[in-house]
Amino acid sequence: MPPSDPLGTPGRRAFHHQPVLLREVMELLAPASGQLILDGTLGGGGHSEAMLRAGARVVGLDQDEEALAHAMQRLREFGDQFCAMHGNFRDFPRILSESGVGPVDAILLDLGVSSYQLDEPTRGFSFQKDGPLDARMNPRVGVSAADLVNTASAEELERIFREYGEEPRAHRYAQAVVKERNQQPIHTTLRLASIIEKCAGHSGGKRHPATRVFQALRMAVNDEMGALADVLRMAPKYLKPGGRLAIITFHSLEDRLVKQTLRHFSQPLLDRPEWPEPRPNPDFQLRLLTRRSIAPSEEEVRHNPRSRSARLRGAERLTSHVPY
């Protein structure tokens, strides 16, 4: 039996998630009394709690209502130093302005899903236990993984498996899924996992053959790359001068997008081969705080193996425009 949920939902696992790169995030953002911080991925509230203990006020956003309920419970001792809001971080300007919140001193994004989401079978993110094939962080919106698996074309499934899962057998797996769904629609996590396993021809090895497929479906149904592109485009404008942005990614595609976007915002001049000379960059408003991404220490990976692919990048809003 899983331990009972602190909110009392029968049969649910207790919420659990260990914040990754916590020390590094605290060093980068240096939260302090008098500051207002947006935690765009509240999750279990681990990063938020550390920032609240350092004296900052925190607005925590999550699109998962279960995460939100847990974090509100966990952080209730902080009273009105903490405020939780439901929504997608790609909508944060509207969500903040509806609550009368203006520019902030820091924004934290710790992307992906929490350990709770991954481990709770009813959420349909993983195939360790059987559950509905869902994988939405906000089950009230969008299409589920089952909808996608049962209706997308073989080409679309192949693209998703290849692009988001970096799955070398994307073509084969997409064909197998289409063949099986024609016999009977695929509604559960274990059925999909066994289709992939059968097609892969083995279940041994370090990783289950369906691991990348499940990751890919999760990224697709939650439009994770689209949401990240949106939030990155808007975040610098909502930082006070000198305000800081910290982003933790878990996937090379995400890290590349973060790296390229932060680099773009931190270049005073833009140059293209067809231009006679470099031109001022109208988006120039950040200074990079991390030339290279920061990875977790060996010790952290040993204690929390799920942190192994985490990468942290940060930038600071310029206090004034530097003359070109």
Rounded to 10 deg, the angle between the 211-221 and 224-234 helix axes is 50
| Burial (Cβ within 10 Å: 0-12, 13-18, ≥19) of residue 182 | exposed
Binding mask 191-230 for ligand SAM (x = CB under 6 A): ------------------------------------x---
| Burial (Cβ within 10 Å: 0-12, 13-18, ≥19) of residue 159 | middle
Rounded to 10 deg, the angle between the 189-200 and 170-183 helix axes is 130
CB of 16 to ligand SAM, least distance (A): 9
Q: Are 226 and 142 in contact (CB under 8 A)?
A: no
Q: Which is nearer to ligand SAM, 41 or 266 (CB)?
A: 41
List 28, 82, 112, 217, residue binding ligand SAM (CB under 6 A): 112
| Burial (Cβ within 10 Å: 0-12, 13-18, ≥19) of residue 186 | middle
Size of the site for ligand SAM (CB under 6 A): 22
List 88, 144, 189, 266, residue binding ligand SAM (CB under 6 A): 88
CB of 13 to ligand SAM, least distance (A): 14
List 21, 24, 58, 63, residue binding ligand SAM (CB under 6 A): 63
Does 43 participate in binding ligand SAM (rule CB under 6 A)? yes
List 59, 67, 196, 246, residue binding ligand SAM (CB under 6 A): 67
Q: What is the token pair recorded at 162?
A: 């290849």
List 37, 52, 95, 137, residue binding ligand SAM (CB under 6 A): 137
d(CA 34, CA 29): 14
| Burial (Cβ within 10 Å: 0-12, 13-18, ≥19) of residue 110 | buried
Does 44 participate in binding ligand SAM (rule CB under 6 A)? yes
Does 119 participate in binding ligand SAM (rule CB under 6 A)? no
CB of 190 to ligand SAM, least distance (A): 23
H/E segment holding residue 173: helix 170-183
Q: Which is nearer to ligand SAM, 115 or 290 (CB)?
A: 115
Nearest residue to ligand SAM, by Cβ distance, number only: 43
Q: Which is nearer to ligand SAM, 135 or 146 (CB)?
A: 135
List 5, 28, 31, 46, residue binding ligand SAM (CB under 6 A): 46
Dihedral pair phi/psi, residue 120, rounded to 5°? -85, 110
List 31, 35, 38, 41, residue binding ligand SAM (CB under 6 A): 41
- DSSP code at position 1: -
- DSSP code at position 110: E
**Residue ranges that bind ligand SAM, judged by CB under 6 A:** 17, 19, 41, 43-47, 61-64, 67, 88-90, 110, 112-114, 137, 227
